[in-house]
Amino acid sequence: MINNFSMKAFNIEATSHSPKVSFDPEKQLFEISGESRPENASVFYEPILNWIKDFEATFDGNSEAFNDPFTFDFKLDYFNSTSAKFILDFCKKIGQLQVKGLQLNVRWLYEEDDDDMLEVGKEMARMAKIPFEYVEIEIDAN
């Protein structure tokens, strides 16, 4: 159990070069969305990876304490190769949570007709050794 949800939410606002990060353990919803091409990906992703590491440390494997699975949403429009390494590291951390018994839904959201982003999601899932749900998003015609 997560110390009665003592883990604080973690948020980073999106910029033109970095994604929005919204982790809310109380709502059991985690999201990374937007573009990821920060000038220094290591500096950007380090606090994110540290947060998920701390989250993992607070979880004792008692998945019965939660009625619903935790949802991890990846809704990335674009990310560069440097960001890809850190996103993969994050996915591997999610996999470690799953091994510890936490119920998870990992969703890879991609725009319709963006076969490249779909394939990248499939590759991330394969390398992280966790199942993803692939959700096609309709592009707004406006």
The answer to the question of residue 60 being in a domain is yes
The answer to the question of residue 103 being in a domain is yes
The answer to the question of residue 36 being in a domain is no
DSSP SS3 for 118? helix
Q: Does the predicted model carry a pTM greater than 0.75?
A: yes
> Which residue from 54, 56, 2, 5 is spatially nearest to 26, judged by alpha carbons?
5
CB 92 within 8 A of CB 45: no
Q: What are 46-92's pLDDT values in tens digits? A: 999 999 998 888 776 555 566 688 999 999 999 999 999 999 999 99
DSSP SS3 for 128? helix
The answer to the question of residue 142 being in a domain is no
What total number of domains does the chain contain?
A: 1
The answer to the question of residue 37 being in a domain is no
Q: pLDDT grade, residue 29 (50/70/90)?
A: very high
Give the Cα separation of 52 and 34 in Å (integer): 19
Q: What are 82-141's pLDDT values in tens digits? A: 999 999 999 999 999 888 888 899 999 999 999 999 999 999 999 999 999 999 998 876
The answer to the question of residue 38 being in a domain is no
Give the structural domain span for 133.
3-9+19-31+43-137
The helix-helix angle for 41-58 and 81-99 (nearest 10°) equals 0
Q: Output phi, psi for 74, to 5 deg.
A: -110, 115
Degrees (nearest 5) of the Cα angle 55, 72, 116? 135
Name which residue leads in pLDDT, 7 or 106.
106
Give the Cα separation of 114 and 112 in Å (integer): 5
